[in-house]
Amino acid sequence: MTLAIFDLDNTLLGGDSDYLWGQFLVEKGVVDGESYERKNQRYYEEYKRGELDIFKFLQFSLQPLSEHDPDTLDSWHREFMQAKVRPLISDASRKLIASHAERGDTLLIITATNQFVTAPIARELGITNLLATTPEQVDGRYTGRVEGIPCYQDGKVKRLHVWMDEHGYNLDGSWFYSDSHNDLALLQEVSHPVAVDPDDSLRETAMRNGWPVISLHNNSPVEA
């Protein structure tokens, strides 16, 4: 079966769930507001520039998970979904997912954002296959550390190839939708790379290579 692979943040979602989770924690008073918000913003800007140290960021972003019990975290996440995430899911995103499902493609989300944040979002979108950065758990609680390879930049490619080997897939005829130049390594591997509301760097690459450029979050899709 053909793989239809989707980035999540700023692709299927009209915003960044990792950044917004941090903002949500600030608004809840769970973290030190001024300091946490300043660091959250700094890491987000580094990500957009392609300069993010993923391990430093994960040390920062996973720490709050280790400080609270799973029931409390799950309760907060339900609030987060309602307040922050569902408004970011456009009809166009749902239609794109449905169009691949109707063709019989296997749907897969691949995202740098950690699995705690993203698993409920994948379920909301009706996508059962998810590759995300994995927060380590011991005895049912998060430790604040990352498990395995972070699902970021070339880590996405590595994680995807392991998943394909385990599940019997390949990239023949595959699709990948992304907004970010951070995903260039994977975009170059698939049969059908598609830039979605891309950053300036990815837009230039897409135009140069003749890749489609579409919008899921504006009224008028644009074509390369």
The pLDDT assigned to 221 comes to 41
Reference 114, options 140, 136, 132, 127; nearest CA is 132
Q: Angle, to 10 degrees, between the axis of helix 54-66 and the axis of helix 17-28?
A: 40
Distance CA 144, CA 179 (A): 28
Tokens of 205: 């690459």
The pLDDT assigned to 224 comes to 32
The CATH code that applies to domain 3-214 is 3.40.50.1000
Active site residue 71: no
Reference 176, options 148, 212, 204, 147; nearest CA is 212
Query: Residue 51 carries which side chain, given as an amino acid letter?
Result: E
Active site residue 9: yes
Q: Which of 9, 16, 18, 183 is catalytic?
A: 9
Q: Which of 7, 16, 18, 197 is catalytic?
A: 7
Tokens of 211: 């890749």
The pLDDT assigned to 143 comes to 97
The domains of the chain are located at 3-214
Task: Quote the Cα angle for 178-197-117, to 5°.
Answer: 55
The pLDDT assigned to 219 comes to 52
The pLDDT assigned to 194 comes to 98
Q: pLDDT truncated to tens, each residue of the chain (224 aa)?
A: 899 999 999 999 999 999 999 999 999 999 987 888 898 889 889 988 989 898 998 998 999 999 999 999 999 999 999 999 999 999 999 999 999 999 999 999 999 999 999 999 999 999 999 999 999 999 999 999 999 999 999 999 999 999 999 999 999 999 999 999 999 999 999 999 999 999 999 999 999 999 999 999 975 443 33
